[in-house]
Structure 1
Amino acid sequence: MMHRCRTLASAVVCALALLLSPAGLAGGPQSSPVISYTRDIQPILTEKCVACHACNDAACQLNLGSAEGVQRGGSKVPVYQGERSSAVPTTRLFYDATSEEGWRKKGFYSVLDQQGSQAALMARMLELGHKTPLTPNAKIPDDIVLGLNRTNMCPAPIEFDAYAGAHPREGMPLAVTGLTDQEHQTLQRWLAAGAPVESSAVKPSAAEARQIADWEALLNRPGASEALAARWLYEHLFLAHIHFQNGERGHFFQWVRSRTPSGQPVDIIASRRPNDPPGSDFYYRLVPVQGVIVHKTHITYPASPDKLARIKQLFYAGDWQVASLPGYGPQRRANPFETFEAIPARSRYQFMLDNAEYFVRTFIRGSVCRGQIATDVIRDNFWALFQDPEHDLYITDARYRGEATPLLAMPGQNDDVGSVLGLWRAYRDKRNDYEMLRRDAYADTPPPTWETLWSGNDNALLSIFRHFDSASVTKGLIGDVPLTTWLFDYPLLERTYYQLAVNFDVFGNVSHQLQTRLYFDLIRNGAEVNFLRLLPASKRGDILSDWYQNSGKLKMWLDYEDIDTSTASALGIDPHHATRDFGLKLLQRTAGLNVAPDPINRCTGAYCSRPDQPEALRNAEQSLSRLVSRPAAGLEVIGQLPEATMLRIELPNGQREVYSLLRNRAHSNVAFLLGEAYRYQPGLDTLTLYPGVLSSYPNFMFNIPSDQVPAFVDALQNARDDKQAFEAIVERWGIRRSHPQFWDYFHDLSRYIEQTQPVEAGVLDMNRYENL
């Protein structure tokens, strides 16, 4: 077994370890086997550490999902620092440095190196946590700050003693059931031996390698038109975790730009954005996703020969030509409609429609891991629909497309702090000029009908749930009819994707992030206005006023273009209950397309459960249905529930079902950057219950035997706003961070995803797990 020994001193330890391993013994009695990082260490880190130490919001940027992340170590520089005046250098694992030395030059410090006579920083942090265990299933002491409000200390090795003195109960894992004695001993033995790490990189199988060759050959075809199509495809798939037909379970791949062609080792061009200048000749390459798959960054895209054929049909089979390739830079980033105008708009839009769930996930669920800067501009639950290409003027009318394209530029390319308000006003006015153009152009078209809505595949109906600073996207229409619905046409879908995914820089400064957030407010407004056109003209103004109550009316006056309240709709919607009647008619008309039938939240008869489930589960769902689609004014306990609660219902046969119990906070409006709490309408909050895990960030979990579900529901109904009554519920059925079996229950959520949607499975995040 070959190990990578990290220092000269540890090299001696490694050599002795190898001599004492079973392979190094010549028939003598065997000592304990050499610890393998892949076999022994990473599984412990995956089980007990990755749930907090992954992605950009890992405490101290310590990513423990791979050997590379462990060796990179920690940093005092937070990725999320919205008030910074200057952008910071990017620190993306596997991209921005490829060696320990490279990361040390970027300010990262080792958590594995011994410091003279002192053990490694990781060893001391683990020891501090192990010697101060938590009281089983008790609340975490209030002086230990948890969640996103925690200010991480990030002590360097020489600062550990001061940290431990000030925070004696804040060792690792932080404020959660810790390592078993055996896990602790294994990690400490490994650290004492110099923390040796063997190579364990994911490699494609033969079947995957063949498909990789086919996809790389397509995107690297010679020719100007081919190069432009490949650039558009790369910019739209760079976030994807691609899984191949007949590929290995757990194998995913992602697109990069490389200085080297297919057949040679990849040399990644680590540009800040995927549409920044590459700086040299390059090739599009597919590389394996390394490390533990974590759910919050796992946005999947299925690749197959059929998918490849579809892309060839859309982008490579037409007669369009491009005389010269567009360059890179801020202007090209700001307006992708101009950059890629040579590619038929129908092809671009159809590709996004074919994969609508993927695209909406990129900017709603996102890969930046902490998203309140964007999510406080959206409602807590709404549906998303798409305009059919045949009814999209940007697709069908070349003259309209020519007039609209210059108005579709987006802010955020200039991050000068002093110019932020002027930039915002300029792009707001440009966007409103586009909305005026769109309104007047559509007024001259036939009234919208149900055929206006695209229904090409099951991506056509999506449900979005916001959980304060994160959000989820699921196929199908889940929950009761929501207050708002978004309708995307091509210009809106493409702008949303570019503004929030391609052009967004999580390492950017306050100006960039503020411009992004403010423009997303206009995007939401545009999606709502598109939807309003489907409703009776006489009611659009009243509906819009209901969405923008109180201070929202000021925002309507300041920043939004007037809506069309005169041209007709031909959908046949009841004007007295327009949004609800639309939702009910939509459910009826799309029953064959909707992959999320929902008798629990939309119960219309005596039976409020899924008919194909075992009797015990049907009875449990019948009881749970009493909690949903009711305002908090009549179910006061909603005010004490977190955003995303998981219910684990245990059946008599030993099986279990998992449900997401989501709190939908009501707002008078969601039109402002600050002061969200002042716009809450808590008496109108509701709950949605749906089978499955609908959040990457569970906030709490209850484990309930199916025969106790009626008692659980009764207790919630009777608790009202009584904190002691709610705490009794938590004591009886809750799984607190300190529960002796916390990790078994927590990771069972991931196992549930693996059993029901294996491609989507990944380790969930517990940074938002609440201390109830």
Structure 2
Amino acid sequence: MFLRLLTSAVTLVLCSTALGQTPLASPAVPPTISYVRDIQPILTEKCVACHACNDAACQLNLGSAEGATRGASKVPVYKGDRTTAIEPTRIFYDASGPDQWHRKGFYSVLDAQGSQAALMTRMLELGHSTPLTPNAKLPKEIVLGLNRNNVCPAPGEFDAYAKKHPKEGMPLAVTGLTDKQYQTVQAWLAQGAPVDQNAIKPSPVEAAQIAEWEALLNRPGSSEALVGRWLYEHLFLAHAYFDNGVPGHFFQWVRSRTPSGQPIDLIATRRPDDDPGTTFFYRLMPVQGVIVHKTHITYPMGKQKLARVKELFYSGNWRATSLPGYGPRSRANPFQTFEAIPAVARYQFMLDNAEYFVRTFIRGPVCRGQIATDVIRDSFWAMFQEPAHDRYITDAAYRGEATPLLAMPGQIDNVGSILTLWHNYRDKRNEYVKLRQETYADMPPPSWATLWAGNDNALLTIFRHFDSASVTKGLIGEVPQTMWLFDFPLLERTYYQLAVNFDVYGNVSHQAQTRLYFDLIRNGAEVNFLRLMPDDARASILSDWYQNSGKLKMWLDYQKIDTSTPTGMILDPVDPKRDFALKLIERAGTLNASPDPINRCTGAYCSRPNIAQEFQFAEQALSRLTSRPAAGLAVIKQLPEASMLRIEGSDGKREMYSMLRNRSHTNVAFMLGEAYRLQPGLDTLTIYPGVLSSYPNFMFNIPTGDVEAFVEAMEHSKTQASFDTIVERWGVRRSNPQFWQYFHDIGEYIHETNPVEAGVLDMNRYENL
């Protein structure tokens, strides 16, 4: 957060002074201030919500001592029009210590500059002198949001910054530090900002399991080395945790020059499938710093998981006779690179952990995903093809014919070659789709047995919020407009294109190729699903997904769909897609991890049965707002995409709900011009218990006794003035004196209900309603 202040940034600064309060006469500050004990907790509470990940203003990351001492940079991570890739600046990865980071262009925010105090000191002072009016809407001159221009003043540029942005010190547009916190941080800075370290180390129980996993991935032999590489490339984003591990301890796979038992000497490559350049070993490194929800993609690595990996990959009589290289060709086509490993093992491993893999490329750890998310709908369900019904798995001849067509673009980032590369890969993909159609036409018609039903990863719901997205097990919300069906070639390509090979530091050519190919991936998942529909209904369903300009895209870039091969599904011909969805819900049973009576109320009771009666009444009332188009519920047009409802019971207990605005589009087939394809009159709301976004846009705090009044006010609100009245009564504005208490209570709710997933949420997108 400190950078938010530090900058005029696109992110929101969260570190600050107490708004409207004057310094206490007597600062109760300990004479010896510890960074670990005294400073990091303040930064975690007030700053990390904006200053973490790639979208931290001026790259100031305040989730660790490493980030605080690294400082700030004027080079933005997100710059979609750059013609040349920039050097990666991943914390704990691409450099270590202030000197190395400063050689990469970062400058200190903690060090005094001659007679001038540290930059952080002055930013705090600027913010402390211009407090916000409690509970009021922010002044118009304070620009917020992702389109805010980053201004990253170096220490010598602060005076000019303060003159031009007098109300944009620390905090930027949010209630700030308490007086005691402010005095503690300022005293620490005045003492020279000494930093002590408290690095996470594995417990004995964790260390024993780490040793087993490292021994497995580093086994000698060509076959073992190939499996180790495949597993590493599929788990490098994971925050892994172990049976009986220490709560809050997570570990990340890296490549090291040193073997197990020695300190890790990390090899930092741009991509996990780049050439390491030397002998290396796969190692598990503790995740350091504060856990933030948006980068926290968890993966269990206990004894059962270890046994499953051995069963899938280390049994049978297959052998690799040689090892592939690490060049662009190997990166472009993992199907060729790993063809020696049985395809059924690869696919089954991904199915076992489908939620994790879909999270890596839909939610992702890059922290600003518009390059990918503007190609998907705001709400849809995802399913997976049963391996026994996946021709790529079962037919070696077909697999051999299909594999060369599954290469993906993005390895060559020559700006002048964008269109040529795109056309080449588009044509290969369409040739593959044609081959797939012809091959599957000879198979028995698809039925319910076509869908994988191995565990509760089998059914997933994706919600997209402009430039971020979430993935949740189960079927949430009203029946969506589109559904996706992944087979192995599609799931693996999506993962490699958007996770393994995507470079957030890349240039415009790389990012454009990635985005264009993801459009083909989405289309492939939709077409796979269409095969379940009656053959005479497919064209009309597809036409609904690609309205207006989407028709042009279908003609230009997509292979024609199969409208003649029958389905084995028996569905209502009037609306087969909806009938399929309702039957899917009915058949899913325990596979549906997210029963949803609020949004899909089918009787008199629209609430969960296992909660207190006052919350049942609240859910019953909230259900009136769901699954209604904005044409009949005008308030939807006033709402941001991801709001949180904190419903407080009479005994002080509370439930937390996500209220998501699902924007309707004529199509999502183009990289630019999304605003021209919106259909605001068809937008709807989904309200669901829990936290379905890492980036809350706003929050309402509503006593259970007020829920009926809140719902009625929402139902009758048709103007900005009437919506402002709702915000005034129940909204939690950034200027609310209790803002941080309410904001962090969202994270506390995650900690209580699913502690492994808990992390500090991001407030860069919190709006000024």
- TM-score (structure 2 length as normaliser): 0.96
The answer to whether 1:153 aligns with 2:151 is yes
Q: How far is 1:118 from its partner? A: 1.0
Are 1:568 and 2:597 an aligned pair? no
Between 573-582 and 693-702, report the one with greater CA deviation: 573-582
What residue is the counterpart of 1:284 in the other structure? 282
Conserved? CA contact 1:130–1:179, under 8 Å: no
Identify the residue that residue 201 of structure 1 maps to in structure 2: 199
CA distance in 2, matches of 1:352, 1:302: 14
Q: What is the match of residue 166 of structure 1?
A: 164
How far apart are 1:329 and its partner, in Å? 1.1
Q: Are the counterparts in 2 of residues 408 and 430 from structure 1 also a CA contact under 8 Å?
A: yes
Q: 1:111 Cα deviation (Å)?
A: 0.3
Runs of 4+ aligned structure 1 residues displaced above 6 Å come to none
Q: 2:756 aligns with which of 737, 756, 759?
A: 759
Q: Which secondary structure state, in structure 1, belongs to the residue aligned with residue 537 of structure 2?
A: helix
1:303 aligned to which of 287, 301, 304? 301
Q: Aligned match of 2:514 in 501, 511, 516?
A: 516
Which residue number in structure 2 is paired with residue 434 of structure 1? Answer: 432
Give the equivalent residue in structure 2 for 1:21.
none
Distance 1:303 1:92 in 2: 24
Aligned residues between the structures? 742
Deviation of the 1:130 alpha carbon: 1.2
Cα contact 2:629–2:683 (8 A) shared by 1: yes
CA distance in 2, matches of 1:596, 1:121: 48
1:13-37 CA distance string (max 9 Å, x none): xxxxxxxxxxxxxxxxx99441110
Of 121, 131, 141, 1:143 maps to 141
* 1:723 aligned to which of 720, 723, 733: 720
Match runs of 1:171-182 below 5 Å: 171-182=169-180
Task: Kindly indicate whether the alpha-carbon contact (under 8 Å) linking 2:29 and 2:184 is maintained by their aligned counterparts in 1.
Answer: no
- Give yes or no for contact 2:29–2:180 (8 Å, CA) kept in 1: no
| Distance in 1, Cα, partners of 2:128 & 2:216 | 53
Q: Given the alignment of the two structures, is residue 348 of structure 1 paired with residue 346 of structure 2, yes or no?
A: yes
Letter in 1 for 2:726: I
The aligned runs of 1:217-232 (5 Å cut-off) are: 217-232=215-230
- Matching residue within 738, 741, 744 for 2:738: 741
2:687 to 686, 689, 707: 689
Structure 2 contact 29–183 (Cα < 8 Å) conserved: no
Counterpart amino acid of residue 723 in structure 2: F
Percent identical among aligned pairs is 75
Matched, 1:323 2:321: yes
CA distance in 2, matches of 1:592, 1:287: 35
Q: Distance in 1 between matches of 2:452 and 2:328?
A: 33
Q: Which residue of 2 aligns with 1:332?
A: 330
User: Could you list the runs of 5+ residues in structure 2 that have no partner in the other structure?
Assistant: 1-27
Runs of 5+ unmatched residues, structure 1: 1-29
Alignment of 1:32-111 (within 5 A): 32-111=30-109
* Aligned residue identity for 1:579: K
After alignment, is 32-41 or 65-74 more displaced? 32-41
1:133 aligns with 2:150: no
**What's 1:25 paired with?**
none
Does the residue aligned with 1:115 lie in a helix, a strand or coil? Answer: coil
Please tell me whether the aligned partners of residues 380 and 665 of structure 1 are also in contact (alpha carbons under 8 angstroms).
Answer: yes
Q: Distance in 2 between matches of 1:273 and 1:225?
A: 22
- Give 2:112's aligned residue: 114
For the Cα contact (< 8 Å) 2:446–2:569, is it kept in 1? yes
Look up the match of 1:367: 365
Shift of the alpha carbon at 1:578? Answer: 1.2
Distance in structure 2 (CA, Å) of the matches to 1:733 and 1:382:
30
Match of 1:671 in 2: 669
1:687 aligned counterpart, secondary structure? strand
1:208 Cα deviation after fit? 0.3
* DSSP 3-state at the match of 2:457: helix
* 1: CA distance, partners of 2:239 / 2:569: 39
Tell me the alpha carbon deviations over residues 408-450 of structure 1, each in whole angstroms, 9 at most, x when there is no partner. 0000000000000000000000000000000110011000010
Pairing of 1:518-597 with structure 2 (within 5 A): 518-597=516-595
Instruction: Provide the C-alpha distance between the structure 2 equivalents of 1:165 and 1:472, rounded to a whole number of angstroms.
Output: 40
Q: CA deviation at 1:762?
A: 0.2
CA distance in structure 2 between the aligned counterparts of 1:466 and 1:237, rounded to whole angstroms: 24
The structural deviation recorded for 1:523 is 0.3
Contact 2:135-2:734 at 8 Å conserved across structures: yes
Query: Residue in 2 aligned with 1:387?
Result: 385
> Separation in 2 of the partners of 1:34 and 1:424?
60
> What letter is aligned with 1:108?
F
Note if contact 1:533-1:569 (Cα within 8 Å) is conserved in structure 2.
yes
Could you say what secondary structure the match of 2:575 adopts?
Answer: helix
Letter in 1 for 2:683: D
Between the aligned partners of 2:339 and 2:73, the Cα distance in structure 1 is: 43
SS in 1 for 2:589: coil
SS in 1 for 2:382: strand
Cα deviation, residue 592, structure 1: 2.5
| Number of the residue aligned with 1:467 | 465
**Whole-angstrom CA distance in 2 between matches of 1:329 and 1:176:** 48
User: What's the counterpart of residue 410 of structure 1?
Assistant: 408
C-alpha distance in 2 between matches for 1:408 and 1:138:
55
- The one-letter amino acid of 1:53's match is H
